[in-house]
Amino acid sequence: MRHIYLVTGAAGHLGGAVCSLLKNRGETVRGLAHYKDDTTFIESLGVEVVRGDVTDKESMRELFEGSENAYLIHTAAIVDINSKENAYMREVNVEGTKNVIALAKEYGVEKTVYVSSVHAIPVLPHGRMMREVTEFSPDSVEGAYAKTKAEAAAYVMEEMKKGFDCRIVHPSGIIGPYPAKGNHLVQMIKNYIKGILPGCIKGGYDFVDVRDCALGIDAALDYGKAGECYLLTGGYYSVIEMLNLLKEITQGKSVRVWPTWMAKMVAPAMAKAAIRKGMKPIFTTYSLETLKVNGRFSHDKATRELGFMPRELYETLKDTVNWLYTSGECERKQKKVIGKYTAKRVQLGM
């Protein structure tokens, strides 16, 4: 008997990638989307869309109706890279997760994957490799977002110890194609393409393709063990390396590298300016600190048990750029042609 797949946060970046993977395989998918979400993409895939809010338990009952043979993928979350406490983010990420799991238990969902984050895992010193952990605490991590994900993961872990059939996955910095309105990293790529990225700093993080995350989640349902956690990470890259790859792909310009002290000084003003323009902020005090701490994670367990094999960053960036062009989110710049020759800027070896 085929399963029905229930996806919360279906209109989000990761949720959309999960829906795309499942629908392309011919699965029946029912997705929960917030009342304000743009569901054009997932509706085009043939996803049955249910409107609701994870903070309102009763609004989600339609998602779970007839779900005794269902697989649940809980991706719904708010990602906020600001340092300040955010009451609504905690309401969504923690209380919303409790509501989703309560309904999954009530309706007899067969298997569940809860999408956490590597931010829920305590940071180790430079030179160490971070792996899966079995205990989570908001007190062991820094930043408002990380604390909500750690608190939610701790709750899910306790439910799994009581017999709830679930596994937790921890993606790193997600990038890739498909609609990604709320993704700060994709916003950085868009800003670079548009020529409005003013600078970057030394430092980096682990980046993973959203499609690989979707594949990892799917594999966790089929092959993952209930009660286990899996890191879905790609590999560590400095921001400079990422921007150099984007420069090669788009034939764009180099971006100024700021000293950390300067970036921290201008970050608050840049974040406010981005919000005023309706864009996700890229550089905040918290995000700058994150780029400086240890960002090396091992996905060996996911590779060994789930067959997780993330693609290289260049391929991800190339496909992301092409998606932004073809979707109309970014305009493809045409080279100026003089006669039959294309005018190119001559760059000296400096």
Q: What is the pLDDT of residues 112-145, one digit of tens each?
A: 999 999 999 999 999 999 999 999 999 999 999 9
Please provide the distance, in angstroms rounded to a whole number, between the alpha carbons at the two ends of the chain.
Answer: 63
Burial of residue 270, with CB atoms counted within 10 A of its CB: 0-12 exposed, 13-18 middle, 19 or more buried: middle
Q: How far is residue 96's CA from residue 29's CA, in Å, rounded to a whole number? A: 21
Contact 125, 59 (CB under 8 A): no
Of the pLDDT bands very low, low, confident and very high (cuts 50, 70, 90), residue 346 is very low
Q: Tell which CATH architecture fits domain 4-181+205-237+295-326.
A: 3-Layer(aba) Sandwich (3.40)
What are 63-115's pLDDT values in tens digits? 999 878 899 999 999 988 776 778 999 999 999 999 999 999 999 999 999 99
Domain boundaries, the chain: 4-181+205-237+295-326
The C-alpha atoms of residue 168 and residue 230 are separated, in whole angstroms, by 6
pLDDT at 334 over 60: no
- Of the candidates 159, 156, 6, the one whose C-alpha atom is nearest the C-alpha of residue 69 is 6
| 36 contacts 12 by C-beta, under 8 angstroms | no
For 279-320, the pLDDT digits (tens) are 666 677 777 788 889 999 999 999 999 999 999 999 999 999
